[in-house]
């Protein structure tokens, strides 16, 4: 059976030693008194909940899955899920980073980010039930009316009600402009929605008394395409004016998808039959509110990939230290055993270090992104808010796609460490691989994220935001360029930073002649950008660690950080050279292939 230990030490390193979040909090009035001790204490308790309450339900929940009753349309979650959720809300975890005006605890988003990494490591399927509520909450905070906020937010913040995002229909996935669900205006100002949705995560469950669905639909006079989509609140049970639950609404689960992974989560087919809804935002402007939820979900999915890398790495490392097989190529290492532990073999170490490097690099990126989101929402300086939002917009597709690509790479590598045992269910590794695979698909496939990054976030403003990130790299290069001990970390990112300008310009020029050139290069481009971002954070982590070592700190944590940084830059970062070459190969080898694809 797998095990899990919350990586609290590394979280503390990223927040307090590298990012120095307390310094940023001093500039944000509501967090001016927030200190490291408080953050650490909260996360220590959160780690206990993740490891002791929901992690033991991960394997059993995967084996049992959710049960659907075709007569009542009810869904029963796996044994123990409902009771664990009750512990979650009783302890106040649902309200952790939410607005105190509506009953939230008002802690910084980075704390919630780290808490959710631990939840995702422990049990991704379970975590999706409360996790999706945060996206719905964010959408209503940004676009809901005062009445909608008062009606729904307190119960969602407390965890008594959960939220979903109802976008996808069978005939259209990411292309939401093709959706057919209809919304008919009513005399009382409400709407009646009719249609069918699929792939709705946590769309039905027995854990809460109500589910607040945010549904995209079309008004009768809506213009075609994405510009004719509106957003609606459609609760499972209608809510009376006094806040009590009323009649059952005309929205129900029509079945559950039979899936490869995340089997403990109810991925539902949702049917709407004259379901009563209220509009969020303006008519035909529904994507404004939905993008708030989608972007929150994209950061959340990146965190899912992050969580799975960490737990897979921990188990593969423990196995590699214990499993004996063959002798080291450089001579016997375990003289008292019939063979050496497999961790002595170079390629086993490569697989383990790949997972470790992606886990720790991803943690740095996600914490940094959480701080950007915090500044965008709460910093008193408008310029800081604008700059943070701009940077976060560019990094969001990298968080989602690069982190989940790495999740697939790392969990697969960790399974490989187990050899044949990795393929056997009892070790738990094959579940991590199966669960990791969905993260590359939903909330916009990673190809969609790549097109968003290259087409909108980079070429859309002629590389302005990318150049701003380049200034962060430039500042680090200026600080450490003369430090010989930092050269192996600084030189690669300085070189790639310079190459990115020419690389981006080439793709832009080719794309002006043929848009398919952008589509052909986008996936490779995102991965290059992902390494540029990871490289920056790995260089910063190495900088902190080397300074501690130079100051006489003998904690092996710092030497381990430097060793992992060296591995990352020597073995993973060089992938960028190949990726730039394949991106430059152009679209002809893909598009001029009609005969090959007959």
State the catalytic residue, choosing from 204, 360, 430, 443. Answer: 443
What was the pLDDT predicted at 565?
Answer: 98
Question: Is the confidence at residue 89, as pLDDT, over 90?
Answer: yes
Mean pLDDT of the chain: 97
Question: Is the confidence at residue 584, as pLDDT, over 90?
Answer: yes
Question: Per residue in 16-42, pLDDT tens?
Answer: 999 999 999 999 999 999 999 999 999
Question: Per residue in 358-394, pLDDT tens?
Answer: 999 999 999 999 999 999 999 999 999 999 999 999 9
Query: Which pTM was predicted?
Result: 0.98
What was the pLDDT predicted at 175?
Answer: 83
45/24 Cα distance (integer angstroms): 24
Q: Do domains 8-143 and 163-286 have the same CATH topology?
A: no
- Evaluated on CA atoms 214, 215, 218, 219, the torsion sign reads negative
Question: Per residue in 408-453, pLDDT tens?
Answer: 999 999 999 999 999 999 999 999 999 999 999 999 999 999 999 9
What was the pLDDT predicted at 583?
Answer: 98
The H or E element containing residue 436 is helix 429-438
3-state secondary structure 458-470: HHHHCCHHHHHHH
Residue among 293, 295, 366 at smallest CA distance from 141: 293
Residue extents of the structural domains in the chain: 8-143, 163-286, 445-593
Question: Per residue in 47-77, pLDDT tens?
Answer: 999 999 999 999 999 999 999 999 999 999 9
3-state secondary structure 496-554: HHHHHHHHHHHHHHHHHHCCHHHHHHHHHHHHHHHHHHHHHHHHHHHHHHHHHHHCCCC
366/109 Cα distance (integer angstroms): 11
Which CATH superfamily hosts domain 8-143?
Acyl-CoA dehydrogenase/oxidase, N-terminal domain (1.10.540.10)
Question: Per residue in 222-247, pLDDT tens?
Answer: 999 999 999 999 999 999 999 999 99
What was the pLDDT predicted at 1?
Answer: 87
What was the pLDDT predicted at 64?
Answer: 98
Q: Confidence band (pLDDT; 50, 70, 90) for 293?
A: confident
Question: Is the confidence at residue 290, as pLDDT, over 90?
Answer: no
Residues 6 or more apart in contact with residue 485 via CB below 8 angstroms? 546
Question: How buried is 461 (Cβ within 10 angstroms: 0-12 exposed, 13-18 middle, 19+ buried)?
Answer: middle
Q: How far is CA 151 from the centre of its chain?
A: 28
For residue 476, report the phi and psi dihedrals to the nearest 5 degrees.
-65, -40
What was the pLDDT predicted at 572?
Answer: 98
Count helices and strands (H / E) in the chain.
18, 11
Question: Is the confidence at residue 166, as pLDDT, over 90?
Answer: yes
What was the pLDDT predicted at 174?
Answer: 81
443 flagged as catalytic = yes
Question: How buried is 70 (Cβ within 10 angstroms: 0-12 exposed, 13-18 middle, 19+ buried)?
Answer: exposed
What was the pLDDT predicted at 177?
Answer: 83
Report the topology of domain 445-593. 1.20.120
Compute the average pLDDT of residues 133-154. 96
Question: Is the confidence at residue 126, as pLDDT, over 90?
Answer: yes
Residue pair 153/239 in contact by the 8 Å Cβ criterion: no
What was the pLDDT predicted at 547?
Answer: 98
CA angle centred on 294, ends 429 and 180, rounded to 5°: 110
Report the topology of domain 163-286. Butyryl-CoA Dehydrogenase, subunit A; domain 2 (2.40.110)
Percent of the chain beyond pLDDT 70?
100
- Evaluated on CA atoms 371, 362, 8, 87, the torsion sign reads positive
Question: Per residue in 95-118, pLDDT tens?
Answer: 999 999 999 999 999 999 999 999
Question: Per residue in 569-580, pLDDT tens?
Answer: 999 999 999 999
How many CB atoms within 10 Å of residue 310?
A: 28
């Amino acid at each position: 059976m797998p095990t899990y230990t919350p990586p609290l030490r590394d979280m503390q390193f990223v927040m307090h030693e590298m990012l120095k979040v307390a310094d940023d909090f001093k500039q944000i009035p509501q967090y001016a008194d927030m200190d490291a001790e408080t953050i650490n204490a909260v996360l220590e308790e959160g780690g206990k909940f993740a490891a002791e309450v929901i992690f033991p339900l991960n394997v059993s929940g995967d084996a049992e899955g959710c049960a659907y009753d075709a007569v009542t349309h009810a869904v029963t979650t796996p044994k123990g899920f409902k009771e664990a959720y009750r512990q979650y809300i009783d302890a106040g975890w649902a309200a952790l980073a939410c607005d105190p005006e509506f009953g939230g605890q008002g802690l910084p988003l980075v704390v919630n980010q780290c808490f959710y990494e631990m939840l995702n490591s422990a049990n991704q399927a379970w975590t999706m039930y409360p996790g999706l509520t945060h996206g719905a909450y964010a959408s209503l905070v940004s676009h809901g009316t005062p009445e909608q906020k008062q009606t729904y937010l307190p119960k969602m913040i407390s965890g008594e009600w959960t939220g979903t995002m109802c976008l996808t229909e069978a005939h259209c996935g990411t292309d939401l402009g093709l959706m057919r669900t209809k919304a008919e205006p009513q005399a009382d100002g409400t709407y009646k929605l009719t249609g069918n949705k699929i792939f709705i995560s946590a769309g039905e469950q027995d854990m809460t008394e109500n589910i607040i669905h945010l549904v995209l639909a079309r008004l009768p006079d809506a213009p075609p395409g994405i510009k004719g989509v509106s957003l609606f609140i459609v609760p499972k049970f209608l809510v009376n004016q006094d806040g009590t639950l009323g009649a059952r609404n005309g929205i129900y689960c029509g079945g559950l998808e039979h899936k490869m992974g995340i089997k403990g989560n109810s991925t539902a087919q949702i049917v709407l039959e004259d379901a009563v809804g209220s509009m969020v935002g303006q008519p035909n402007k529904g994507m404004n509110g939905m993008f708030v939820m989608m972007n929150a979900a994209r950061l959340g999915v990146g965190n899912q990939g992050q969580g799975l890398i960490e737990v897979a790495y921990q188990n593969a490392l423990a196995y590699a230290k214990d499993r004996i097989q063959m002798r080291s190529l450089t001579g016997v290492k375990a003289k008292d055993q019939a063979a050496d532990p497999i961790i002595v073999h170079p390629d086993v170490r490569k697989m383990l270090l790949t997972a470790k490097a992606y886990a720790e690099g991803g943690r740095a990126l996600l914490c940094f992104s959480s701080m950007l989101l915090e500044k965008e929402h709460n910093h008193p300086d408008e310029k800081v808010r604008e700059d943070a939002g701009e940077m976060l917009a560019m990094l969001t597709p990298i968080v989602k796609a690069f982190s989940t690509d790495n999740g697939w790479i790392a969990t697969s590598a960790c399974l490989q460490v187990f050899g044949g045992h990795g393929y056997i269910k009892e070790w738990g590794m094959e579940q991590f691989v199966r669960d990791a695979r969905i993260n590359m698909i939903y909330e916009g496939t990673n190809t969609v994220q790549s097109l968003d990054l290259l087409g909108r976030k980079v070429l859309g403003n002629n590389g302005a935001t990318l150049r701003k990130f380049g200034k962060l790299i430039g500042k680090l290069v200026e600080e450490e360029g003369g430090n010989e001990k930092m050269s192996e970390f600084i030189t690669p990112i300085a070189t790639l930073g310079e190459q990115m300008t020419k690389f981006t310009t080439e793709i832009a020029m080719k794309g002006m002649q043929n848009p398919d050139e952008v589509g052909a290069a986008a996936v490779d481009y995102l991965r290059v950008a992902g390494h540029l971002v990871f490289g920056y954070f790995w260089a910063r982590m190495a900088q902190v660690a080397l300074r501690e070592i130079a100051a006489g700190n003998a904690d092996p944590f710092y030497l381990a950080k430097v060793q992992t940084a060296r591995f990352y830059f020597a073995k993973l970062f060089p992938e960028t050279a190949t990726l730039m070459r394949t991106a430059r190969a152009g679209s002809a080898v893909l598009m001029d292939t009609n005969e090959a694809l007959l």
